[in-house]
């Protein structure tokens, strides 16, 4: 899964409802490409390179997990959706919408269909003026000057005026910081770590990830469950208790809330499945002595995936010790989680069926999932 990249885009329109086309394009960028973080003012500009109607031009700063080619493909799809007509002559013409990828982080890309940074930036005042609104001090990756300095140096003397109309930053303002602590749970392979990571990156949350990779008993357990079940569950319980005790006690002034890809109660859920009765009785007593000392999540999210999707995800991520997990084991884990959830009367719980969603690969699925959670928070 890719981490978010900062990208600068240019938007222009000189036909029909120019403001409407820019806003529609911005809305679709949010739906299909990434978070719109900043939007410049709108500048009315004479047609550049041909005789035509004056343009409304703007720039936007977004964060996206797509690569540069995927962004280009999506921008062209948005242009087509909004009715842009293209010609193959290479001659500039009037257009309802024109979307350009200007900057992709600090990367320099030179391929047949894409040049990054966009080569026209230094010579186009209608790009540099809106860039000054959102990235004045940022440095051009090749020229090594700020966009403010490039504007001062440009040879473009076009008469450009800022208009009173404004573009709205699209997308719902999610209120996840309304909860100080959110726990995301799910079966093995449900996607809880991916989702928690994405939310933490997108909404400035402190991220707590379970340290399962460091547990030496886990591979042994999948080879011989009877022999290593108690050692595994005690090891997990001790580590989860220590991690949550430490991380939840350390408030981060620079983060808005905390999100974790597990809740400590999973220890009891898995122990009930894996341990013999006498072992579980002892484990149960120890667990509740530790559990009462921990901060409880204000929102508990359970990501439900059907068994076939879970097995596909487990195979895809390729952890050797998980490859022999049987469907019956996953079904039993899911039943145990649901029984636990039913017993919780003092915890806000949200169960979301994501069996038909791919929130990592499909941004619209991710937005649907966020909307479902937002209902629970608000």
Q: Which residues are catalytic?
A: 261
φ/ψ (deg, to 5) at 155: -85, -5
Nearest to 198 by CA among 180, 174, 215, 168: 174
| Cα–Cα distance for residue pair 354/351, rounded to 1 Å | 9
The single residue listed with the structure tokens 């039943």 is 335
Q: Which is it for the CA torsion 245, 248, 251, 255, positive or negative?
A: positive
| Cα–Cα distance for residue pair 6/281, rounded to 1 Å | 52
Alpha carbon 202 to its chain's center: 5
| CA distances in angstroms from 327 to 190, 228, 273, 275, 323, listed in the order given | 14, 21, 14, 19, 11
Q: Give yes or no for a contact between 253 and 321, defined as CB atoms under 8 angstroms apart.
A: no
Return the SS3 of 115.
strand
Strand-pair partners of 46: none
- Strands 299-304 and 348-353 come out as parallel
């Amino acid at each position: 899964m890719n981490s978010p990249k900062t990208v600068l885009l240019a938007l222009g329109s000189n036909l029909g409802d120019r403001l409407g086309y820019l806003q529609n394009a911005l809305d679709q960028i949010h739906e299909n490409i990434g978070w719109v973080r900043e939007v410049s003012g709108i500048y009315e500009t004479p047609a550049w390179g041909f005789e035509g109607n004056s343009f409304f031009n703007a720039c936007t700063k977004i964060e996206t997990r797509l690569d540069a080619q995927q962004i280009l493909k999506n921008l062209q799809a948005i242009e087509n959706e909004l009715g842009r007509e293209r010609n193959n002559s290479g001659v500039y013409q009037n257009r309802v919408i024109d979307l350009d990828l200007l900057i992709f982080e600090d990367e320099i890309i030179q391929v047949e269909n894409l040049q990054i940074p966009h080569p026209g930036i230094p010579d186009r005042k209608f790009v540099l003026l809106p860039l000054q609104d959102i990235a004045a001090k940022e440095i051009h990756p090749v020229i090594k000057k700020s966009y403010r300095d490039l504007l001062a140096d440009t040879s473009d003397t076009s008469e450009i005026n800022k208009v009173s109309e404004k573009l709205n930053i699209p997308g719902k303002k999610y209120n996840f910081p309304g909860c100080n602590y959110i726990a995301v749970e799910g079966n093995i392979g449900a996607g809880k770590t991916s989702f928690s990571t994405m939310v933490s990156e997108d909404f400035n949350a402190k991220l707590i990830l379970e340290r399962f990779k460091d547990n030496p008993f886990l591979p042994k357990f999948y080879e011989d469950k009877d022999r290593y079940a108690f050692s595994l569950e005690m090891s997990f319980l001790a580590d989860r208790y220590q991690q949550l005790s430490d991380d939840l006690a350390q408030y981060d002034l620079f983060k808005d809330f905390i999100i974790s890809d597990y809740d400590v109660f999973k220890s009891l859920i898995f122990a009930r499945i894996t341990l013999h009765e006498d072992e579980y009785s002892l484990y149960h007593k120890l667990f509740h002595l530790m559990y009462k000392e921990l901060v409880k999540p204000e929102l508990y999210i359970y990501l439900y995936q059907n068994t076939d999707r879970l097995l596909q995800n487990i195979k895809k991520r390729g952890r050797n010790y998980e490859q022999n997990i049987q469907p019956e084991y996953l079904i039993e884990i899911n039943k145990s989680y649901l029984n636990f959830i039913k017993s919780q009367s003092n915890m806000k719980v949200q169960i979301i069926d994501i069996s038909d969603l791919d929130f990592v690969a499909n941004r619209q699925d991710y937005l649907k999932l966020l909307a479902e959670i937002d209902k629970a928070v608000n």
